[in-house]
Amino acid sequence: MSAECSSYLNADKVLVSGFSCPRAGGDARAVFCCGFQDVKYCCDDPHSFFPYEHSYMWWLSVGALVGLSIAALVLFAFIITVCVLCYLFISTKPRSKLDTGLSLQTAGKTGC
């Protein structure tokens, strides 16, 4: 079984001539033509959409998880800090009204 990859223009607008799958010196199991309009390659899975190994995706996922974990910890620390400060503000507030030292009395009639 073999497949034909037709010629195409790559991302740099250079014409790449067509080829047969599997390629000489390549993987004998890569009998399908896979890829997009600007990159074609031989593959062993006709539903493959990416010509590179997927191992880099693991490191990308680990990096994303580490970044999200750090962001979650910072957000959690911020929320805890706000809660503690609110509690301290409310708990240290005097329970009764402050005495300003001025007595508010109605002004009586003064004679001239």
pTM score over 0.85:
no
Check whether 25 has a pLDDT greater than 60. Answer: yes
pLDDT of residue 84: 95
Residue 26 C-beta-side C-alpha neighbours within 13 Å? 15
pLDDT of residue 4: 87
d(CA 25, CA 1): 16
Least confident of 4-13, 73-82, 99-108: 99-108
| Residues in the chain, overall count | 112
Q: In terms of pLDDT, which residue wins out, 33 or 48?
A: 33
- How many percent of the chain have pLDDT more than 90? 27
The domains of the chain are located at: 3-43, 52-92
Across the chain, mean pLDDT equals 80
Q: Report whether 2 contacts 20 (CB < 8 A).
A: yes
Write out the two tokens for 17. Answer: 């001539």
pLDDT, tens digit (0-9, with 9 covering 90-100), for 44-94: 877 766 555 555 555 667 778 889 999 999 999 999 999 999 999 988 877
Q: Quick one: pLDDT band at residue 26, thresholds 50, 70, 90?
A: confident
Strands (E), 1-112: 3-5, 8-9, 15-16, 19-21, 32-35, 40-43
